[in-house]
Structure 1
Amino acid sequence: MSSQSAKETIRGIEHVGITVPNHEDAIAFFQAAFDAEVLFSLTDKTREPLTHEALGPKNGLRKGTAIVAVSMLRLRNGPNVEVFEIDRPGGQPGQGISDYGISHFSVTVDDIDAATRAFAAAGGTLLEGPYDLGDQEEGPGNRGQFGQAPWGLLIEFEQLPAPMDYDGHPDAKRWLPNPESEEV
């Protein structure tokens, strides 16, 4: 049994998994909207699906279902996105921020206008904005906007050039992806 604490062992979020109605359409959308790169596919519709019998005990895949396609995508400098298509998914597509579960993910951008234009051109629907961020995120040039992917997933865009305030923790810092020119 290790004596290390979570603080000593947790590095951060590596990927977010998203179940979509159509794998190929979702991949095309992420490539067009975010210049995503497919790193690998564990299965696709030309290969055998990954069944409940093989994976259910490991990841909770519901009995009677199978993963027909799954790919890991690279979205620049931050967590990866894993895209799943399940043959008989449950739930409702397009649930929002008011529902349990992962409601959205956010991408940090240098130019919110260019990023949201690319998103809309790829088939996404933009909600109101861009708008100036408020409260602790307020600062010159700090702006945000939400949009929905074609299957309803909520995606947030944040442009954050100004520093932010942190409640009671002046030394705390929110992790933000570095510009590509600053990657190590």
Structure 2
Amino acid sequence: MTVRGIDHVGVTVPDLEAATRFLIAALDAEVLYDTLPAEEGPVGGEETEQRLGVPPGTRQLAIRMLALPDGPGLELFAYDPPGRSPALPSDLGWQHLALYVDDLDAVRERAVAAGAHELAPPHPLPGPEAGPANRFAYLRTPWGSTLELVTYPDPQPYERQTSRRRWRPAPPRSAGEGEAGG
């Protein structure tokens, strides 16, 4: 058995269309398909409640799968009634989405222009992750979820202690790379 990586991250949003527009504008996400198109919902009842572990009376309004350019999918869910407020980093459970980016400043500016709120300017990665150009920034999406942008192009101190490395997407291919020649 081998875990190969993250396939997708599920995100509950208050407005599926607005969240889709933000993710396309901010992160170059692409809509792949609707598992539950809004016009076919809502879906609820005992089976849904048991399968998902949601409170009685909760109904799924829509489900959409998006793809990031070089990362896992983002599966958006809309529910009725909407859930509690978005998780903060101090809450229990999975509480933020971190995306590796090549140009942190450009992606941060794009996300802010698309409606994200920057919590603070980018910071250097600390301690075992440090390096001259290694940085991160936290933002809030328009619906209040925490989004981290991270880049670590320089070697990190932890790499001297182990041969195991953090996963990160492969660098982008140059134009024509991998194409058959003629």
Which of 132, 140, 146 is 1:154 aligned to?
146
TM-score (norm 2): 0.88
Which of 70, 83, 89 is 1:77 aligned to?
70
For 1:164, give the aligned amino acid. Q
| Structure 1 residue 146: Cα displacement | 0.6
CA distance 1:98–1:172, shift in 2 (3 Å): same
**What SS does structure 1 have at the residue aligned with 2:133?**
coil
Report the RMSD for the aligned CA atoms in angstroms. 2.0
Residue number in structure 1 paired with 2:85: 92
Is 1:50 the equivalent of 2:43?
yes
Residue number in structure 1 paired with 2:2: 9
**What SS does structure 2 have at the residue aligned with 1:28?**
helix
For 1:47, give the aligned amino acid. E
CA distance 1:40–1:169, shift in 2 (3 Å): farther
For 1:17, give the aligned amino acid. G
Once residues 72 and 155 of structure 2 are traced to their aligned partners in structure 1, the CA distance between those partners, rounded to angstroms, is: 22
Which segment drifts farther, 123-132 or 162-171? 162-171
| Structure 1 residue 169: Cα displacement | 4.9
Conservation of the 8 A alpha-carbon contact between 2:41 and 2:60: no
Is 1:66 the equivalent of 2:22?
no
Which of 107, 110, 116 is 2:99 aligned to?
107
**Which blocks of at least 5 consecutive residues in structure 1 are unaligned?**
1-7
| Structure 1 residue 167: Cα displacement | 8.0
Is 1:166 the equivalent of 2:144?
no
Aligned length in residues: 176
**What SS does structure 1 have at the residue aligned with 2:138?**
strand
Cα distance per residue 1:124-144 (max 9 Å; x no partner): 001111121110110121111
Which of 33, 41, 53 is 1:40 aligned to?
33
Once residues 37 and 59 of structure 1 are traced to their aligned partners in structure 2, the CA distance between those partners, rounded to angstroms, is: 26
Is 1:126 the equivalent of 2:111?
no
Conservation of the 8 A alpha-carbon contact between 2:62 and 2:78: yes
For 1:154, give the aligned amino acid. T
4+ runs deviating over 4 angstroms? none
**Which blocks of at least 5 consecutive residues in structure 2 are unaligned?**
none
Conservation of the 8 A alpha-carbon contact between 1:52 and 1:62: no
Conservation of the 8 A alpha-carbon contact between 2:43 and 2:59: yes
**What SS does structure 2 have at the residue aligned with 1:70?**
strand
Residue number in structure 2 paired with 1:5: none
